């Protein structure tokens, strides 16, 4: 396909980052993310590997420099590694990076193949290193599998960033130890406030922990230096003095982060979401199936015109979630 104009939204922001949710399924049921009994999309409603690759091709042709594969848990989908290889073929030809966010339960098995396919960094979601707390948060997860996955990723030469959702009364006492452990291992750590996405079985208000207070506590324990590192994403960074470890904070509720947003999200059903905090999406699957690859550009352009300036996250007792869809649909 011919080149097309770069992706610029109505607010003048260049879109250079595409997140692709390859599945809404997950082998964990984290309490802040999902209900215990989830209803997932039928497999025939998902984009095929070829369709996912075609959409990725088009975004790269229009200036996307980074693609992240997410889920659900991307490694539960059997053809995810094939997709990584196909997207990885663009590295050095317009694409700077292909990365993966995973819960780590299957990372030990796949870390070497990911590195061979061109992945150089992975994000691993881990909210606790304590086996009992981890099992409670995830409902039935085994943290030993995640820790083994982190070991395997580092052995394969992958840089690892830990993602930890800060949860009041569940893991707040583990945040400082997690940062100390990450520093010892040469890992980065990003802390995330819980986000009001989708109906769950619990009241998120009970677990909301503002990161402003967390940062003050960490700065009393660690020498944290402001870091100018930016990805165009929501995190703001500090460097742990004397180490290579960066601490990132994602604060969708206590501090808005949308001014430099450079990303869009492709859900597993083919809908393109311009903002994590809004339900409006554009159906790229229909555009592709009805009009072929050439139909993608019009659909993408229409979506860009509707990208909001910011999200509308708020959290309060009894408040409805910001979106009907769960985090697993668009991958966070």
Assign residue 71 the CATH number of its domain: 3.20.20.70
Q: Judge whether 233 is annotated as a binding position.
A: no
pLDDT score recorded for residue 110: 98
Tokens standing for residue 68:
């992240």
d(CA 110, CA 87): 17
Instruction: Specify if 11 maps to a domain.
Output: no
| Cα dihedral 297, 302, 307, 313 sign | negative
Tokens standing for residue 244:
């290579």
- Number of structural domains found in the chain: 1
d(CA 138, CA 51): 31
Backbone angles phi, psi at 286, to 5 degrees: -65, -40
Q: Judge whether 258 is annotated as a binding position.
A: yes
Instruction: Specify if 7 maps to a domain.
Output: no
Backbone angles phi, psi at 214, to 5 degrees: -60, -45
Q: Judge whether 243 is annotated as a binding position.
A: no
122 DSSP β-pair partners = 100, 160
pLDDT score recorded for residue 330: 57
Residue 36 structural domain: 17-330
Asked if residues 314 and 261 have their Cβ atoms less than 8 Å apart, the reply is no
pLDDT score recorded for residue 5: 80
pLDDT score recorded for residue 228: 85
Q: Judge whether 314 is annotated as a binding position.
A: no
Q: Judge whether 26 is annotated as a binding position.
A: yes
Instruction: Specify if 2 maps to a domain.
Output: no
Cβ neighbours around 150 below 10 Å, total: 22
Tokens standing for residue 316:
């309060």
Q: Judge whether 143 is annotated as a binding position.
A: no
**Nearest in space to 68 (alpha carbons), one of 101, 43, 94, 110:** 101
pLDDT score recorded for residue 321: 44
pLDDT score recorded for residue 194: 82
Instruction: Specify if 124 maps to a domain.
Output: yes
Q: Judge whether 149 is annotated as a binding position.
A: no
Q: Judge whether 165 is annotated as a binding position.
A: no
Q: Judge whether 240 is annotated as a binding position.
A: no
Contacts of 50 (CB under 8 A, 6+ apart): none
Q: Judge whether 265 is annotated as a binding position.
A: yes
Q: Judge whether 19 is annotated as a binding position.
A: yes
Buried b (16+ CB within 10 A) or exposed e, 53-86: bbbbbbbbbbbbbbbbbbbbbbbbbeebbebbbb
d(CA 141, CA 136): 8
Instruction: Specify if 315 maps to a domain.
Output: yes
Instruction: Specify if 10 maps to a domain.
Output: no
pTM of the model: 0.87
Asked if residues 283 and 36 have their Cβ atoms less than 8 Å apart, the reply is no
Asked if residues 240 and 186 have their Cβ atoms less than 8 Å apart, the reply is no
Q: Judge whether 161 is annotated as a binding position.
A: yes
In which order are the strands placed within the sheet that holds 97-102?
224-227, 236-240, 246-250, 188-193, 159-166, 121-125, 97-102, 66-70, 17-21, 263-266, 271-273, 281-283
Backbone angles phi, psi at 135, to 5 degrees: -65, -40
Q: Judge whether 263 is annotated as a binding position.
A: yes
Buried b (16+ CB within 10 A) or exposed e, 222-251: bebeeeeeeeebbbbbbbbeeeebbbbbbb
Q: Judge whether 310 is annotated as a binding position.
A: no
Ranges of the chain with pLDDT below 70: 1-3, 195-205, 231-234, 252-260, 276-278, 309-332
Asked if residues 126 and 104 have their Cβ atoms less than 8 Å apart, the reply is yes
Instruction: Specify if 74 maps to a domain.
Output: yes
Question: What string of DSSP letters covers 48-102?
Answer: PHHHHHHHHHHHHHTT--EEEEESS-GGGSTTHHHHHHHHHTTBTTTB-EEEEEE
pLDDT score recorded for residue 282: 93
pLDDT score recorded for residue 290: 94
Buried b (16+ CB within 10 A) or exposed e, 257-281: bbeebbbbbbbbbbbbbbbbbbeeb
Instruction: Specify if 9 maps to a domain.
Output: no
Q: Judge whether 138 is annotated as a binding position.
A: no
Q: Judge whether 146 is annotated as a binding position.
A: no
pLDDT digits (tens, 9 = 90+) for 42-87: 988 899 999 999 999 999 999 999 999 999 999 999 999 999 999 9
72 cis-preceded (ω within 30 degrees of 0): yes
pLDDT score recorded for residue 198: 47
Q: Judge whether 85 is annotated as a binding position.
A: no
Asked if residues 82 and 24 have their Cβ atoms less than 8 Å apart, the reply is no
């Amino acid at each position: 396909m011919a080149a097309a104009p770069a992706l610029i939204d109505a607010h003048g922001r260049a879109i250079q980052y595409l997140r692709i949710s390859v599945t809404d399924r997950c082998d964990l049921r984290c309490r802040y993310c999902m209900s215990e009994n989830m209803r997932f999309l039928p497999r025939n409603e998902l984009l095929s590997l070829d369709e996912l690759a075609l959409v990725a091709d088009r975004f790269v042709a229009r200036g996307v420099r980074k693609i992240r594969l997410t889920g659900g848990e991307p490694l539960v989908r059997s053809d995810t590694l094939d997709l990584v290889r196909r997207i990885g073929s663009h590295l050095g030809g317009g694409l700077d990076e292909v990365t993966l966010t995973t819960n780590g339960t299957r990372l030990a098995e796949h870390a070497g193949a990911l590195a061979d396919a061109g992945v150089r960094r992975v994000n691993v979601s881990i909210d606790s290193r304590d086996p009992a707390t981890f099992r409670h948060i995830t409902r039935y997860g085994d943290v030993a599998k995640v820790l083994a996955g982190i070991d395997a990723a580092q052995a394969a030469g992958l840089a690892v960033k830990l993602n930890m959702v800060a949860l009041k009364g569940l893991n707040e006492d583990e945040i400082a130890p997690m940062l100390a452990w990450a520093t010892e291992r040469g890992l980065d750590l990003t802390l995330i406030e819980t986000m009001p996405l989708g109906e769950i079985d619990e009241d998120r208000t009970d677990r909301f922990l503002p990161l402003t207070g967390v940062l003050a506590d960490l700065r009393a324990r660690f020498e944290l230096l402001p870091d100018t590192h930016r990805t165009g994403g929501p995190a703001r960074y500090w460097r742990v003095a004397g180490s290579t470890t960066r601490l990132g904070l994602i604060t969708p509720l206590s501090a808005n982060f949308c001014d430099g947003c450079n990303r869009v999200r492709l859900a597993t059903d083919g809908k393109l979401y311009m903002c994590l905090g809004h339900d409006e999406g554009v159906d790229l699957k229909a555009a592709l199936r009805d009009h072929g690859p050439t139909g993608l550009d019009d659909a993408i352009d229409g979506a860009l015109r509707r990208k909001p300036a910011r999200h509308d996250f708020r959290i309060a007792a009894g408040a409805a979630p910001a979106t009907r869809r769960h985090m697993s649909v668009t991958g966070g």
